[in-house]
A = this chain, B = another copy of it.
């Protein structure tokens, strides 16, 4: 898929997930794409835990995802994106570990879209419970989770059409300035 198509088609598809298995090589490919993101001084402060299978995902969701719908639980794979604050770089008073994880996960989402896999970022979770269930150390932060699943439709595009038709973004001129803040 063309890069701009992946950027345009990527959207949150929580209501359209199939239980169909996602092959391990597809999961590996999107995670390898994540790892190619840039990071401050190449610190690579991201880590990923891949949770597969009904039992493991149900245990995670029951403990840590109170808002996770039954639909999300249908996903055959959940990726848990973590950050190592101590590995990340701070410049002045600006820590970059969360920024860097955002870059890496965006690569992951685009690589998944490129393969026709649905994703849906989840930021609402009980971090202590995620850590307990997945044995994540205290000094690690859990940042986002996403299912990786085939959409329950003939194609990614078909599954995404309704969601994309409802997409809202701020007016471009409120977000991008020319020359200086507020410049048009």
Q: How many copies altogether?
A: 2
A48 touches B177 (CB 8 A): yes
B175 touches A35 (CB 8 A): yes
User: A114 contacts which chain B residues (CB < 8 A)?
Assistant: 2-4
User: A50 contacts which chain B residues (CB < 8 A)?
Assistant: 176-179
Closest B residue to A109 using CB positions: B38
Closest B residue to A140 using CB positions: B181
Provide the A67-102 mask, 1 if CB < 8 A to any CB of B, else 0.
000000000000000000000010110111011111
User: A44 contacts which chain B residues (CB < 8 A)?
Assistant: 169-170, 175
A89 touches B123 (CB 8 A): yes
Provide the A1-17 mask, 1 if CB < 8 A to any CB of B, else 0.
11111111011100000
B94 touches A143 (CB 8 A): yes
B92 touches A127 (CB 8 A): yes
Provide the A98-128 mask, 1 if CB < 8 A to any CB of B, else 0.
1111110111011101100000010110010
Q: Is A33 positioned at the interface, with any CB of B under 8 Å from its CB? A: yes
User: A123 contacts which chain B residues (CB < 8 A)?
Assistant: 40, 89, 91, 94, 96
- The 10 A-B pairs of least Cβ separation, nearest first, read A102-B102, A99-B102, A3-B114, A106-B106, A103-B106, A3-B6, A98-B98, A102-B103, A135-B180, A136-B181
